[in-house]
């Protein structure tokens, strides 16, 4: 990571943040089994997809992301019910990652969007989320 915080205003910055975030997710005792054992995430294919998703959200890029994020998470929930603590831990690690090395309007927007995403998924899986 860079020593001087910068904004999430380029594909390179978004990729850097997501790489750091997924290192934390895969080191986390709660989330690692969900990502590796239940969802069977292959980072070689997942990271480019999730980078395209966040580039779409933060930069308005429309070319890369063509999937239905909600449907994928609902299918995962049917396979293995996701718990409130799962969403809260994901959001905690996301915010922690952004706050560690990024600042600015896009970084703030990323945290706001992550909160909305987690809240929407919680509602869809019928788990209340704390604010």
DSSP, collapsed to helix, strand or coil, labels residue 9 as coil
More confident residue, 79 or 120: 120
Dihedral over alpha carbons 65, 69, 71, 76 (to 10 degrees): 130
Query: Is 49 among the domain residues?
Result: yes
Looking at residue 5, what is its pLDDT? 82
10: left (phi over 0), alpha (psi -120 to 50) or beta: beta
Look-up: residue for tokens 């896009």?
106
The mean pLDDT value of the chain amounts to 86
List, for residues 26-82, the tens digit of each pLDDT value.
999 999 998 888 888 888 988 998 999 999 999 987 765 566 666 676 777 777 777
Q: Determine the Cα–Cα distance for residues 7 and 95; give it in Å rounded to an integer.
A: 14
Query: Is 94 among the domain residues?
Result: yes
Query: Is 131 among the domain residues?
Result: no
Residue 7: CB atoms within 10 Å:
16
CATH number, domain with residue 87: 1.10.490.10
Share of the chain above pLDDT 90, in %: 51
Looking at residue 15, what is its pLDDT? 96
Query: Is 129 among the domain residues?
Result: no
Q: Is the dihedral of CA 117, 68, 76, 28 positive or negative?
A: negative
Looking at residue 131, what is its pLDDT? 44
Domain that holds residue 17: 11-124
Out of 21-25, 61-65, 103-107, pick the least confident.
61-65
What is the token pair recorded at 118? Answer: 């987690």
Contact 97, 56 (CB under 8 A): no
* DSSP for residue 8: S
Query: Is 34 among the domain residues?
Result: yes
């Amino acid at each position: 990571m860079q020593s001087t915080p910068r904004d999430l205003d380029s594909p390179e910055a978004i990729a850097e943040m997501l790489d750091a975030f997924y290192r934390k997710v895969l080191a986390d005792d709660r989330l690692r089994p969900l990502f590796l054992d239940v969802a069977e995430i292959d980072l070689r294919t997942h990271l480019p997809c999730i980078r395209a998703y966040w580039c779409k959200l933060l930069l308005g890029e429309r070319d890369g992301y063509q999937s239905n994020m909600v449907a994928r998470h609902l299918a995962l929930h049917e396979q293995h019910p996701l718990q409130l603590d799962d969403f809260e831990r994901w959001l905690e690690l996301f915010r922690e990652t952004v706050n560690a090395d990024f600042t600015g309007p896009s970084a703030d927007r990323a945290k706001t969007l992550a909160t909305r995403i987690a809240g929407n998924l919680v509602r869809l899986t019928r788990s209340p989320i704390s604010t």
